[in-house]
Amino acid sequence: MEITRLVKRAKRKDADAFTELMESQMQNMYKVARSILSRDEDVADAISDTILVCWEKIDTLKKNRFFRTWMTRILINKCNDILRAGQRTVFTDEPLEIEYMENEFLNLEWILKGSNESQKFDINKEFGNTGVKLVSAEISALGLELVSDYPKGCKYADMNGEHQPPSFAGVKMKDGKVYTYESVVDGSGEQFETGSSGKLYGKFTETVTTKKILEVKQIKALLFFKKSAGDSETYKAEDYYEIPLEVEK
């Protein structure tokens, strides 16, 4: 991958490689900064500060493939610094749009720590009568980590015929609005075991993110597609399992 190659060279303080690397990220950086800051001067400052930190600290990046994740987290922190320092950005009541990089693997650390607000919930609720249970959820303004339990002997299959928990669809807010989580970041079956029947069972951890920054305390419930939901651009309430966030750690 080109980015990984450039990161390796930049870690050796190859200025040309670093310049090429940052130029390749400029559009993404602008989209993220502009969605947080309202003034072009502030956007330019945040990007400049981010580039400087990346140059100084790139050798501390442990996994080269996470460069965009690492860089974006630095950028968001720089934007937040500008907000705290000057309070020059006008906020609205609408959730903030964030244009994430498509097909980019975002790690859980960035998603859950990318905002100052993160809450954990013990849920332990079954998806209808499927036998599959949502065990817990850790939610930040940027994303969620979901842990589901797929009991041994459970015959549930999702809409694609795969033996895994129901597909996460989005969140329902207390005001009734629904926001979808469009980017599935990581679905880990590492804790799954294969029984004699070839079926998988055990705990399944999934991390997802969204294009909107949401206020965690305003989230009322988590929504999951039912097997019968099919493939459509619009869904009705009966197409979802609605899991309320009732018990907080």
pLDDT of 2: 78
What residues contact residue 130 under an 8 Å CB cut-off, 6+ apart? 154, 156, 166
pLDDT category of residue 94 using cuts at 50, 70 and 90: very low
Phi/psi for 73 (5° steps) reads -65, -40
Q: Is the pLDDT of residue 86 over 70?
A: no
- Answer yes or no: are the C-beta atoms of 125 and 243 closer than 8 Å: yes
pLDDT of 206: 74
pLDDT category of residue 21 using cuts at 50, 70 and 90: very high
Pick the CATH number of 2-91 from 1.10.1740.10, 1.10.357.10, 2.30.30.140, 1.10.1520.10: 1.10.1740.10
How far is 16 from 10, CA to CA, in rounded Å?
A: 8
CB atoms within 10 A of CB 65: 14
User: SS3 of 34, please?
Assistant: helix
Q: Is the pLDDT of residue 70 over 80?
A: yes
pLDDT category of residue 234 using cuts at 50, 70 and 90: low
CB atoms within 10 A of CB 1: 8
Percent of the chain with pLDDT over 70: 65
- Answer yes or no: are the C-beta atoms of 197 and 128 closer than 8 Å: no
Q: Is the pLDDT of residue 45 over 80?
A: yes
Give pLDDT tens digits for 184-223.
444 444 444 444 444 556 777 777 766 566 778 889 999 8
Tokens linked to 224: 């999951």
How far is 204 from 191, CA to CA, in rounded Å?
A: 7
How far is 37 from 10, CA to CA, in rounded Å?
A: 28
Please indicate whether residue 89 or residue 63 has the higher confidence score (pLDDT).
63
pLDDT category of residue 61 using cuts at 50, 70 and 90: confident
pLDDT category of residue 104 using cuts at 50, 70 and 90: very low
In angstroms, the Cα distances linking 101 to 10, 26, 27 are 21, 12, 10
- Answer yes or no: are the C-beta atoms of 220 and 172 closer than 8 Å: yes
**What are the boundaries of each domain within the chain?**
2-91, 108-244
Query: CA angle, corner 159, sides to 156 and 162, nearest 5?
Result: 55
Give pLDDT tens digits for 124-173.
999 888 888 999 998 877 678 888 888 776 766 655 556 667 778 888 88
How far is 47 from 151, CA to CA, in rounded Å?
A: 48
pTM: 0.53
Query: CA angle, corner 114, sides to 24 and 97, nearest 5?
Result: 70
